Amino acid sequence: MHILITGAAGMIGRKLTARLVADGTLGGREITALTLADVAAPPAPTGFAGQVDCRAADLEQPDQPARLIDTRPDVIFHLAAIVSAEAEIEFDKGYRINLDATRAVFDAIRAAHLAEGYCPRMVMASSIAVVGAPLPHPIPDEFHLTPLTSYGTQKAICELLLSDYTRHGFMDGIGIRLPTICIRPGAPNKAASGFFSSILREPLIGQEAVLPVPDTIRHWHASPRSAVGFLLHGATMDLTALGSRRNLSMPGLSATVAEQIEALRRVAGAGAVALIRRDPDPFITRMCESWATGFEATRARALGFTAEDSFDEIIRIHIEDELGGTA
Amino acid sequence: MHILITGAAGMIGRKLTARLVADGTLGGREITALTLADVAAPPAPTGFAGQVDCRAADLEQPDQPARLIDTRPDVIFHLAAIVSAEAEIEFDKGYRINLDATRAVFDAIRAAHLAEGYCPRMVMASSIAVVGAPLPHPIPDEFHLTPLTSYGTQKAICELLLSDYTRHGFMDGIGIRLPTICIRPGAPNKAASGFFSSILREPLIGQEAVLPVPDTIRHWHASPRSAVGFLLHGATMDLTALGSRRNLSMPGLSATVAEQIEALRRVAGAGAVALIRRDPDPFITRMCESWATGFEATRARALGFTAEDSFDEIIRIHIEDELGGTA
């Protein structure tokens, strides 16, 4: 089995690669080749016996999507995207990368389908940004697409394209609508949602973190480990059960900031909690209030997708996967 | 006021043009110029005192959208599209015309906005094809986008683009999700939905019509006159009440084929009804069963959009507008 990952150098891409290499198989089939693509070539994974092709592929370039599909992967994890804040400011770039590049990948698949019957499994990362306020809580599976960012608009459009290209038989696609990933490993970033991770991640290693919103803010979370699990399940399950509705809101954990902090207290003690410094930011607070606070995810749960039940578990997963098992 | 209509040679475009010419004003402002665009130049309307520019504009050509926007219309009625059956068979053409051309028009508007603050009212025709089975009855305003055709996918994508371009302030857009137009004037066409009109239209002029589905099939209708009314209301109302959700399911009439036929009997008598010949077609029946049977249209009704309450009224409108007032 040959697997292609676009956006392979990103956080989820690296974790997915590591998991595939560790497993050596996907859905019971041996992984014989990995094509790892990103704007800069991702590092080659260690310990993989099969063939690895790490390539720099700028999907904005017209020939690049077709060159990736020329390798005829059996399964494609399409993770490549620019993030929400960048897509909002860089309007053209956002549409080029988050919409046109995805469509170019789909069109390259279609061309190969029409030429020789090629029909890969396409597992595409989507986002809760496809919805925006005013929102019910929890959001039902049949709630409409109401993005309030260009990023969310682009993801919603890619969901529609994925369904249509799948319905025509060009590919066997599933869109995985990811919760906010928490605890996101690594250094703090400038995403408005970054504090959801940093108020746990920094205190766990004895550093101060800034909380810009009230403790009452509720949001929708899943661990990086769950995100990888969603993608793997989407790659291996029988998708005929999805019918024509190929985009699924994933399960996750709906929690307030206060619940996050109490979980931190239970797992890492009052000293860790004392490292959270409150510095209210009305702009970030207003943004958070426009985001989803939770999804029913009835279909995804029924189809076997699972996520964490508590923030204690999310914190423990971070400690296991990022901090060598100690807090 | 300068008004641009794309797809001006189509059935709705011609009726909209006639209404604008008859009114001479839109929202209380004098119409001083009309730009009427279609693949072949539409005929010039008679009786219009202002400036008329009837042009052949193939929106697939890269320079055409910008050349239309160069005329700086205050209000744009964007009706241009290829129909569902054609978009399903001609995959590339459907995406080029129904998606790429719309995006090119929007991008030309954005370029003019960035250059000089241009911000027109954009009234875009969308369709109930943005949803597909399984569907509730009636469909609530917050129901998700579930197209089962490439046409419906393209319209759903254009709705998302319209919202995003409006949110960025490039234009002041509204998407008008039209019911099936009934009674569609003119000769029978090959649309699978054509019988909804022909079982009334042909008997009203003493001709036989074929009914390919059971009398129990329910569907969602509005007259051509209502469709024009929706577009005019969308062009003149204050859109700030819509917030960020700029695409609206229009009101309409949910009726079974049996209810259509009983209305025909009341308006035109048993002789007209006797001209309906039943010739069941399982393929068309299955397609009809995947279509919307009715929308709540709560938001649109609250915002002042109105449609017919009975099929008697729809038939009488056809008699008035197409048959010179006699049945």
Per-residue model confidence (pLDDT) at position B191:
80
pLDDT tens profile A277-316: 999 999 999 999 999 999 999 999 999 999 999 999 999 9
B164 to chain A, closest Cα gap in Å: 6
pLDDT (mean) for B278-307: 96
Residues of B in contact with A141 (CB under 8 A): 144
Count the alpha carbons within 13 Å of B225 in the hemisphere toward its beta carbon. Answer: 13
Q: Say how far apart CA A183 and CA A200 lie, in whole Å.
A: 7
Report the chain B residue with the minimal C-alpha distance to residue A160.
Answer: B153
> Which of these is catalytic: A95, A118, A151, A165?
A151
With an 8 Å Cβ cutoff, is A286 touching chain B? Answer: no
pLDDT at B75 over 60: yes
Indicate whether A67 pLDDT > 90: yes
Check CB contact of B160 with chain A, cutoff 8 Å. Answer: yes
Task: State chain B's mean pLDDT as an integer.
Answer: 96
> B163 vs chain A: nearest CA distance in angstroms?
9
Cβ contacts of B144 on chain A, cutoff 8 Å: 141-145
From residue B105, give the alpha-carbon distance in Å to each of A173, A181, B92, B215, B232: 30, 37, 18, 42, 20
**Cα dihedral value A202, A208, A213, A216, nearest 10:** 70
What's residue A62's pLDDT?
Answer: 86
DSSP characters for B230-288?
Answer: HHHHHHHS-GGGGTT--EEEPP-EEEEHHHHHHHHHHHH-HHHHTTEEE---HHHHHHH
For the segment B231-255, what is each residue's pLDDT rounded down to a tens digit?
999 999 999 999 999 999 999 999 9
pTM over 0.90: yes
Distance (Å) from the alpha carbon of B239 to chain A's nearest alpha carbon: 17
User: Is the distance from CB of A24 to CB of A49 less than 8 angstroms?
Assistant: yes
**Cα torsion angle, A6, A10, A16, A21, sign:** positive
| For A107, nearest residue in chain B (alpha carbons) | B92
Give me the pLDDT at residue A189, please.
Answer: 73
Q: Regarding predicted confidence, which is higher, A83 or B69?
A: B69
Please report which confidence band the pLDDT of residue B275 belongs to, taking 50, 70 and 90 as the band edges: very high
Q: Sorting pLDDT into bands at 50, 70 and 90, what band is A325?
A: confident
Residues of B marked active site are found at 151
Share of chain B above pLDDT 90, in %: 95
Q: Which residue of B has its CA nearest to A91?
A: B168
Angle made by CA atoms A240, A230, A322, in degrees to the nearest 5:
165
- pLDDT category at B34 given cuts 50, 70, 90 is very high
d(CA A266, nearest CA chain B) in Å: 40
Q: A 24-83 residues with CB below 8 A of B? A: none
Across B168-187, average pLDDT? 96
Chain A residues within 8 A of B163 when measuring between CB atoms: 147, 153
* Cα–Cα distance, B275 to B202 (Å, whole number): 8
Query: Taking a C-beta distance cutoff of 8 angstroms, is the pair A203, A272 a contact?
Result: yes
> Which residue from B minimizes the CA distance to A145?
B144
Which of the two residues, A75 and A188, has the higher pLDDT score?
A: A75
Contact B144 A147 (CB under 8 A): no
Whole-number pLDDT of residue A191:
80
The arithmetic mean of pLDDT across residues B66-76, rounded, is 97
Chain B positions in Cβ-Cβ contact with residue A137 (cut-off 8 Å): none
Q: Considering the domain A194-220+253-293+308-322, what is its CATH architecture?
A: Alpha-Beta Complex (3.90)
Q: Which chain B residue lies closest to A158 (C-alpha atoms)?
A: B157
**Does any CB of chain A come closer than 8 Å to the CB of residue B148?**
yes
Which residue from A150, A160, A167 is facing B164, i.e. has the nearest CB?
A: A150
For B170, name the nearest residue in chain A, comparing CA atoms only: A91
Mean pLDDT of B69-79: 97
Contacts of A244 in chain B (CB under 8 A): 132, 146, 148
> pLDDT at position B49, please?
92
* A256–chain B Cβ distance below 8 A for any pair: no
Residue B80 C-alpha, separation from nearest chain A C-alpha, in angstroms: 20
What residues have CB less than 8 Å from A234, skipping those under 6 apart? A123, A174, A176
In this predicted structure, what is the pLDDT of residue A44? 95
User: What whole-number percentage of chain B has pLDDT above 70?
Assistant: 99
Alpha carbon distance B13, A21 (integer Å): 58
Provide the ipTM: 0.97
Q: Return the number of other C-beta atoms located less than 10 Å from residue A262's C-beta.
A: 16
pLDDT at B196 over 60: yes
Quick check: A275 pLDDT over 70? Answer: yes
Query: What pLDDT score was predicted for residue B62?
Result: 86
The CA distances from residue A23 to A6, A11, A16, A225, A232, in Å, are 19, 18, 10, 14, 11
Which residues are CB-contacts of B99 (< 8 A; sequence separation ≥ 6)? B154, B157, B158
CATH code that applies to domain B194-220+253-294+308-322: 3.90.25.10
**Which residues in chain A have their CB less than 8 angstroms from residue B244's CB?**
132, 146, 148
Q: Residue A65: pLDDT above 80?
A: yes
For A167-187, the pLDDT digits (tens) are 999 999 999 999 999 999 988
| Chain B residues near residue A150 by CB distance under 8 angstroms | 164, 168
Mean pLDDT of the region B10-29: 97
Superfamily of domain A2-179+222-249: NAD(P)-binding Rossmann-like Domain (3.40.50.720)
Q: Does residue A296 sit at the B interface (CB-CB below 8 Å)?
A: no
Q: Give the pLDDT confidence score for residue B327 in this predicted structure.
A: 56
- A257: confidence class by pLDDT, cuts 50, 70, 90: very high
The residues with which A36 forms a beta bridge, in sequence order, are A5, A54
Domain segments of chain B as ranges: 2-178+223-249, 194-220+253-294+308-322
For chain A positions 84-113, those within 8 Å of chain B (CB to CB) are 91, 110
What separation in angstroms does the CA of B93 have from each of A237, A303, B85, B86, B87? 33, 36, 12, 8, 7
> Other CB atoms closer than 10 Å to residue B205's CB: what's the count?
12
CA dist., res. A42 & res. A121, Å (int)? 22
Q: Do B244 and A153 touch (CB under 8 A)?
A: no
- From the options 3.40.640.10, 3.40.470.10, 3.20.20.210, 3.40.50.720, give the CATH code of B2-178+223-249: 3.40.50.720
